[in-house]
Amino acid sequence: MGSVIDAPKVADANKDADGNLLSDKKLTVVFVLGGPGSGKGTQCANIVEHYGFTHLSAGDLLRAEIKSGSENGTMIENMIKEGKIVPSEVTIKLLQKAMLDGGNDRFLIDGFPRNEENRAAFENVTKIEPEFVLFFECSEEEMERRLLNRNQGRADDNIETIRKRFKVFVESSIPVVEHYDARGKVRKIDAGRPVEEVFEAVKGIFSPFSSN
């Protein structure tokens, strides 16, 4: 019974004010994946500046949800502190809303999908397939160094949580990259280099988007 009642709600959540479905809008969505500290947020800011994408960081949306005092806030806060993946429905609802509010037709979705369940649920609910997956490859040694120097006051940038996040990344997020790799959709970047060098490589991938 729950699924019968919930179905229209899901469909509504996917419509903008004019009743258009997200999936009807011919959106360009790029998933930006890579381990914690690989430079996803840093490079997304560069891409936004040069290629007119709107940047949606799933982690930022979840942290904003905690701050907003939502009923899910405490649950999200506890999961982030433990480096665990927040239930798909929570993250997807935030992403859908941000896309509908975004007023753009091209989005970088940073740090999502983090596991196969995230991926399948997003596809099922939004009917959106990513154009491609930008994957930042970086050693754990380098990522650990970056995270311990990030200085953004994040509750999860401590060595204990960082180790848990690395484990979750290998066990749950790498299979998502493998899923898209098997479909020829992964664009892999060596992210262990200085920011400018990484962006040079990113530019090579985004050049088709530079004209409009």
Ligand X SMILES: Nc1ncnc2c1ncn2[C@@H]1O[C@H](COP(=O)(O)OP(=O)(O)O)[C@@H](O)[C@H]1O
Query: By CB under 6 A, what part of segment 23-42 binds ligand UDP?
Result: 36-37, 40-41
Q: Contact between 192 and Mg ion (CB under 5 A)? A: no
x/- track of binding to Mg ion for residues 9-48 (CB under 5 A): -------------------------------xx-------
SS (H, E, C) 111-159: CCCCCHHHHHHHHHHHCCCCCEEEEEECCHHHHHHHHHCCCCCCCCCCH
Min dist. Cβ of residue 130 to ligand UDP (A):
14
Ligand-binding site membership of 163 (annotated): no
Rounded to the nearest 5°, which phi and psi values hold at 47? Answer: -65, -40
- The contact set with ligand X (CB under 6 A) reads 34, 36-42, 146, 149-150, 194-195, 198
Min dist. Cβ of residue 167 to ligand X (A):
16
Q: Are 25 and 106 in contact (CB under 8 A)?
A: no
**Vertex 57, ends 56 and 62: CA angle to 5°?**
115
**Vertex 89, ends 38 and 2: CA angle to 5°?**
165
**Nearest residue (CB) to ligand X, 127 versus 150:** 150
Q: Contact between 83 and ligand UDP (CB under 6 A)? A: yes
* Torsion of Cα atoms, 126 then 121 then 94 then 56, to 10°: -80
Ligand-binding site membership of 193 (annotated): yes
Interface residues with ligand UDP (CB under 6 A)?
36-37, 40-41, 57-59, 62, 79-80, 83-86, 91, 111-112, 114, 156, 165
